A = this chain, B = another copy of it.
């Protein structure tokens, strides 16, 4: 199960009722913060997110609407007495910016703050543990920008407890069975692993792509993702403006979703010029069936 909380999904500037980009992805007991526009820490409070559960922050690019909430969040962690280390992933320059602001305020963190600065133009692995990986998705925007692909690793096989008990297999062997081993009974009979286990859950994945112009060469990277969040700043009748500002339209996002055969497309990063966001869904659905609209405060479970 993945849980995605949209803290903000509008372009350009924070407004009274709309927030710039920030999302929280819960996957395999991690709470990954993705982008951090101004006001993100207030959005986290509104959603009663425990600040201490956030240990990794992924920044797509250094435009204000994706990044200007980070200095305040880093400072608030300090004021809250954080001791755990914090890891920030983002374009080169992010370390200089944050450390300069902390220096000017003589407000160094009392926790270890690690910056993982990105410069690669191809997709690179930026985080890995035994449960998940995070890779970059190189995007095409006015400044150096990466999306992020969060992938569960395939899990252990699941023990079929009824079969194991039928053969009176000692619990000591259960871990071996989950690891895929066959079992030889005292009688000499071998029970194949396939009889003792079920397949593990299909690993889920989440691809975050914002901000970017239409960029079909991300398709192989995000192929078959469970969920794709793709920016759609404009409707397709503003195709030229989208190109000029290196943003995508709802139709273009849907084409990417269709070509990558993702499970669900979530649209967001709407220009505030639109009174209703329903038109984005209508436009995208002409190309791709399963479209959801991000909205500030919305929680998706996949």
Contact = CB atoms under 8 A, between A and B. Distances in A.
A192 interface: no
B100 A14 contact: no
Contacts of A71: 64, 68
Interface string A38-64: 110110011000000000000001111
Contacts of A91: 104
A167 to B, nearest CB: 57
A243 interface: no
B107 A16 contact: no
B64 A42 contact: no
A77 to B, nearest CB: 10
A101 B14 contact: no
B69 A42 contact: no
A70 to B, nearest CB: 10
A79 interface: yes
A72 B39 CA distance: 10
Contact of A97 (B14, B41, B61, B104): B104
A43 to B, nearest CB: 9
Contacts of A94: 104
A76 B13 contact: yes
A81 to B, nearest CB: 12
Contact of A69 (B38, B75, B107): B38
Given A13-B41, A97-B104, A72 B79 contact: no
Contacts of A107: 63-64
B45 A104 contact: no
Given A91-B104, A96-B100, 18 more contacts: A12-B79, A13-B41, A13-B72, A13-B79, A14-B39, A15-B42, A38-B38, A38-B69, A39-B39, A62-B105, A64-B75, A64-B107, A67-B105, A68-B72, A68-B75, A94-B104, A97-B104, A106-B143
For the complex of A and B, the 8 pairs showing the least CB-CB separation, nearest first, are A62-B104, A64-B75, A38-B72, A93-B104, A13-B76, A68-B72, A63-B105, A16-B45
